[in-house]
Amino acid sequence: MAEVLLFHHAQGLTSGVRAFADAIGANGHIVHTPDLFEGRTFPSIEEGLAYIGEIGFDAMRERGVRVADELPPGLVYAGFSFGVLPAQKLAQTRPGARGALLFYSCLPISGEWAFGPWPDGVPVQIHGMDNDPVFVGEGDIDAAREIVEKVEDAELFLYPGDQHYFADSSLSSYDADATALLTTRVLIFLDRTTTSLAGKKHSTDNL
């Protein structure tokens, strides 16, 4: 059994994010889904980002990081898009991380804005669509490929399509086939973190 801290995307803790967490939990894992927006959800990414901007991206990220203070070490940190900010920071900086799951977004591990190098022994999976204008068009895929190149246990999975929030069943961007494959890969990853098996680094495109 893995224990996962899962952060929602910029539209909030939607029923689709909860459904994803429930699917993982139904397979024997514990999934925490903190609501960083205090009950607010937004009908568009733009409106959600505007709200985050009012609070401040750094302040909102740190709100997520503080959630972990109430939980034990040994977590897998996961995030959808905006939620990658706190998830990746925790995976890279909080001792005891068991792994990281980064959906639709990825931050560099080198350069001015990085949290530092990736910690040894922390596996990571990164998932995005191959024509997503955010993940691909805004350069997150380059950060993902840097991680795959430099981190021993790192996987990048690209799915055919151009949707950003493709694993949120409550949104029009939902892709059921891609989500089913993503979920299978996530469950394999979580099972592996509980048995401490060493994974093989690879990048799989257009599956």
Rounded mean pLDDT, 139-147:
97
Is residue 93 predicted with pLDDT exceeding 50?
yes
Which structure tokens are listed for 202?
């690879």
CATH of region 3-204, choose from 3.40.50.300, 3.40.605.10, 3.40.50.1820, 3.90.1200.10 = 3.40.50.1820
pTM for the whole structure: 0.93
**103 bridge partner residues:** 80, 127
**What is the rounded average pLDDT for all residues in the chain?**
93
For 196, residues 6+ apart whose C-beta sits below 8 A from its C-beta are none
Identify the pLDDT of residue 201.
45
Distance CA 90, CA 45 (A): 24
Rounded mean pLDDT, 65-75:
94
H/E element holding 193? Answer: helix 176-195
